[in-house]
Amino acid sequence: MMTDVVESSGGVPGATGDQPTGARPAGGTDAARPAGAEATGTKATGTDDSAAAERIAAIRERIDEIDSSIIALWQERAALSQEVGATRMASGGTRLVLSRERQILERFRAALGADGTQLALLLLRAGRGPL
């Protein structure tokens, strides 16, 4: 089950320290990072143990790779969904097929629980726009 980033980070989305390499804090500056703080240092990893810091850095690198894949797949899925909708409407069909949306919602809910439902709703909106 996914954790609630907002709750665990004091209400600031994305404040888990797992930002992509080169990501900047809000405002576009590196003001939140003390001068001289290294990517694998205490401030970036939350530990003084160098072996743990290296492991965290490696894990975060893989997380960044996964995030890139998710973003690319999200964009591809939205484009395909928009194409389906345009094709359906051009042929005289309806804008939405609610039974299809229910199938998607149920698939994500079954696999991921309540968070899956929320994710599916975001995916559906990305493909068809707001209702």
Which residue carries 């980070």 as its tokens?
9
Q: Give percent of the chain with pLDDT exceeding 90.
A: 63
Is residue 115 within 8 A of residue 2, CB to CB? The reply is yes
Q: How confident is the model at residue 131 (pLDDT cuts 50, 70, 90)?
A: confident
Number of domains in the chain: 1
Assigned domain for 13 exists: no
Here the CATH number for the domain that contains residue 72 is 1.20.59.10
pLDDT at 122 over 80: yes
Assigned domain for 122 exists: yes
Assigned domain for 86 exists: yes
Residue 12's Cβ-count burial label (10 Å; 0-12, 13-18, 19+) is: exposed
Which residue range(s) make up the domain with 85? 47-131
Q: Which SS3 state, helix, strand or coil, does residue 128 take?
A: helix
Is residue 129 within 8 A of residue 95, CB to CB? The reply is no
The better pLDDT of the pair 3, 111 is held by 111
Q: Could you report the per-residue pLDDT of 36-55, keeping only the tens digit for each? A: 444 555 678 999 999 999 99
Assigned domain for 94 exists: yes
